[in-house]
Amino acid sequence: MIYFLVQLFLLFGSINCMKQGPSIPFLNLNDGNKLPTMAFGTYLLKGEVARQSIVRAVEAGLRLIDTAAYYENEVDVGAAVAEVIDRKIVTREEIFISTKLWNKYHDREQVVPQLKKSLERLGLDYVDMFLIHTPMAESENGTFLCTDYLETWRGMEDAKKLGLTKSIGVSNFNSRQINRILVYGSIVPAVNQIEGNPTFPNIPLVAYCQQRGIVVMTYSPLGFLVPRGRGRDEQIGPTINNPVLVEIAQKYGKTVIQVVLRYEIDRWTIPISNTRNPKHLEENVNIFDFNLTDTDIERINEFDRKAKVYTLANYRTHLYYGIYTP
């Protein structure tokens, strides 16, 4: 009898422990794979802060973790992933890891070795998503190179064929650049990761990608609703107290932040949230119990100022810049 009670306690204790956060739906990719409809971003998170933040994100229900070689935190991401798997919060199949190839390794023969280095840092046999970080190649000392991103894409195709990544995609590519991949490549990108928020909804590029079955992931989804520390005197776009956003939020019993994140999901993009604050994390993930109307989305679209948070201005003279071009 005691043995039975102990086993019962362990069973229900395990179920209780593993019931983490809201159930987040998925979007199907054009290659037959899938991604959760919200990601946790790790840009500027390093060391123990990165590990703890990622573990909390997974505990809260997030299953897609976005990193990059450029972020210099793949080791920390790997430690967090190992922890949540070891604690049986998730299995490897239930967590999705996305990383990116940096600009200094755009030659075809460099792509696979660089992904293998990322996998070594992550402590994984494969990643779920591998992206070209930008179309703009540069040398080790930062000199701009004219390496054609089509050559880079062929290296990405090599990586997928080797089973080192389940899906491949791009980031910060415009429609003209993607179109060249569609014409000359053998695999259609599964994802384009771009900036998307009320002051830069990137509507034409989002529509272009979606019409071709390419899922859009949006970084900086809150735009200038959160402090950016740039010393600007003027306010770009709406504030957290904007009457339109407040009205929409009150209609659903949500916060403005939740409405803006939901805005990205209801236009069929995957927002990449990023916070080390547990309270903000809880706020971010609790957006799957309501939907915005088309009218709500149109009203938020009116905040479009073509104002990006990340302009990548230091690459403005690069042959393949084009970041403002849909």
Annotated catalytic residue, options 43, 70, 71, 321: 71
Q: What one-character DSSP code corresponds to residue 200? A: B
- Listing DSSP states for 133-153 in one string gives S-S--B-TTS-B----HHHHH
**How many CB atoms lie under 10 A from the CB of residue 99?**
29
What separation, in Å, do the N-terminal and C-terminal C-alpha atoms of the chain show? 68
The strand pair at 34-36 and 26-28 is best described as: antiparallel
Look up 126 and say whether it is catalytic: no
Cα 223 to Cα 233: distance, rounded to the nearest angstrom: 16
Greatest CA span in the chain, whole angstroms?
Answer: 75
Cα 73 to Cα 323: distance, rounded to the nearest angstrom: 25
Active site residues: 71
